[in-house]
Amino acid sequence: MTCKNCKTELTTESDFCNHCGAKVIRNRLTIKNLFEHFSEQFLNYDNKFFQTIIYLFKKPEDVIGSYVSGTRKKYVNPISFFAISLSISGIYMFFFQKYLTESFNMSDFYKYENQQKITEAMMSFTIEYNSLIYFVIIPALALISLVVFYNKKFNFTEHVIIYLYSMSLFSFLSILLTIFILLVFPSKYLFLSGFIYAFMFIYHAYILKRIFQLSAKQILIKTIIFIPLFFIFYLISSVLMVILVLLTGEISLQDLVPKR
């Protein structure tokens, strides 16, 4: 008998391959064992996916530091974690656009029609190009982080690893919180959604403090440096997003003119 993954010779009693570690599968694929495999991978408390999420809160320095230092089997690797977050985000965005946007009326939040039109166009762009936006944000944050933590001996790629994990986790949590807000407090969506981004900022300060073993004073200084750099990136990205939305024809230059 040989391993179906790496073709290593195995004994008939083997349950796992002694070369690649893959489980020996003897039964044909059925709905029952397909669900068992799914449960084993994603629903068990002890599986790596949930452990990765738990320890990104409990010990983020262990999840991220372990991967950077070469321990690659303990948690879900950052690429897979990011891919899962994009898949879940894609499903969420589909249902959000189709069903959840009906939970609130954007006209309640704005005095002028052009303000509502711009916001709806920006939201539509964000939903449609959500994955692309994350692909831009993560390296941008890593570059800012590299500048701010220049003396911590993390290279650019290692900073990317930090934000692959952190932004994926933020994606999971923001989806849950957004659904909760829209179902329970739809009229306060715009106000309460600001707390989601406040959480993102606080969480990143927390994980960077843990990873780089910073004191309260040090993280405060780093935050003061980080904020203007992030604001510059946010300003540039916002202008680019408006330009892209203009090019799609969702809004016109006339819509950008303040109404009196």
Residue 29 lies in a domain: yes
pLDDT of residue 156: 94
Provide the token pair at 61: 């320095």
Q: What is the structure's pLDDT at 232? A: 93
Same domain, 39 and 144: no
Do 78 and 17 have their domain in common? no
User: Same domain, yes or no, for 9 and 77?
Assistant: no
Structural domain total, the chain:
2
Residues 14 and 143 in one domain: no
pLDDT for the residue 49: 84
Specify whether 82 is located in the same domain as 112: yes
pLDDT at 41: 58
- The verdict on residue 111 lying in a domain is yes
pLDDT of the chain, 260 residues: tens digit per residue:
677 677 777 777 777 777 776 667 666 667 766 666 666 655 554 578 888 999 999 999 999 988 988 877 788 889 989 998 888 888 877 776 666 555 555 555 566 666 667 776 777 777 777 788 888 899 999 999 999 998 888 999 999 999 999 999 998 888 888 888 777 877 777 677 778 888 888 999 999 999 999 998 999 999 999 999 999 998 998 888 888 888 877 777 676 666 65
Q: What integer pLDDT is reported at residue 210 of this predicted model?
A: 93
114 in a structural domain? yes
Co-location of 37 and 134 in the same domain: no
CA distance 234 to 220: 20
Q: Are residues 82 and 7 in the same domain?
A: no
Q: Provide the pLDDT for residue 111.
A: 62
Query: Do 58 and 37 belong to one domain?
Result: no
In-domain check, residue 48: no
Q: Are residues 108 and 235 in the same domain?
A: yes
- 82 and 170 in a single domain? The answer is yes
Within 10 angstroms of residue 49's Cβ, the number of other Cβ atoms is 16
3-state secondary structure the chain: CECCCCCCECCCCCCECCCCCCECCCCCCCHHHHHHHHHHHHHCCCCHHHHHHHHHHHCHHHHHHHHHHCCCCCCCCHHHHHHHHHHHHHHHHHHHHHCHHHHCCHHHCCCCHHHHHHHHHHHHHHHHCHHHHHHHHHHHHHHHHHHHCCCCCCCHHHHHHHHHHHHHHHHHHHHHHHHHHHHHCHHHHHHHHHHHHHHHHHHHHHHHHHHCCCCHHHHHHHHHHHHHHHHHHHHHHHHHHHHHHHHHCCCCHHHHCCCC
For residues 31 and 119, membership in a common domain is answered with: no
pTM of this structure: 0.75
Rounded Cα–Cα distance for residues 165 and 75 (Å): 11
Does residue 10 belong to any structural domain of this protein?
yes
User: Which structural domain range is residue 197 located in?
Assistant: 53-256
Query: Are both 83 and 147 inside the same structural domain?
Result: yes
- What is the predicted pLDDT for the residue at 45? 46
